[in-house]
Amino acid sequence: MTISISELYGKKIISGTGHWIGEVGEVVIDVENKEVSHLLLGKIDTSKAGDMIRSLFKNGIEYKRVKKVADTILVSGN
């Protein structure tokens, strides 16, 4: 199955235990590996590099945790 990155924006993210985590505000791409790296909750200020790094750790979900993308995004863990 393929999905465009723009289809991820605004999707609700639910944990494997059924808890609502948030909504996709940003999608981080690993250009070297040509894959999605993280889904971020909310928007980030790209004018400040430090804020972007902080957002990855505080508000980011590693894409490898994604188990299913449908009307919502299901991720492993809490």
Contact status, residue 4 vs residue 65, Cβ threshold 8 Å: no
The domains of the chain, with CATH numbers, are: 5-75 (2.30.30.240)
- pLDDT of the residue at 52: 65
List pLDDT tens digits, range 13-72: 999 999 999 999 989 899 999 999 999 987 766 666 666 666 666 788 999 999 999 999
Give the number of other CB atoms < 10 A from CB of residue 1: 5
- pLDDT of the residue at 50: 64
- pLDDT of the residue at 64: 94
- pLDDT of the residue at 32: 96
- pLDDT of the residue at 2: 79
